Amino acid sequence: MQSDNRILDDMAKVATGALGSLTGLRSEIEAKVQQQLERLLSKMNLVSREEFETMKSVAQAAREEQIKLERRLQEIEAKMAEKSVG
């Protein structure tokens, strides 16, 4: 009976040690993968989210201005057409 408990205790210690090793291995793999991803992303010419949002707002403002100018041009053309007819 006593030897059964000792075997189980030894097996539990081995399992615990293996689990600890696997956890450490997992952490190392995650760190290596993260390093590789960061290295790959740094080689690519990507913009940050902040830069993207800034340029998006600039483009939206430019589009709104373009719409205003198109309306204004249409109004001017309409007035010119009225003057040339009348």
pLDDT at 50: 96
Q: Compute the CA torsion angle 6, 11, 13, 14 (nearest 10 deg).
A: 140
- pLDDT band with cut points at 50, 70 and 90 for residue 2: low
Return the pLDDT at 3.
64
> Which run of H or of E encompasses 60?
helix 49-85
Please tell me the pTM assigned to this model: 0.49
User: pLDDT, tens digit, for every residue of 20-72?
Assistant: 888 888 889 999 999 999 899 888 988 889 999 999 999 999 999 999 999 99
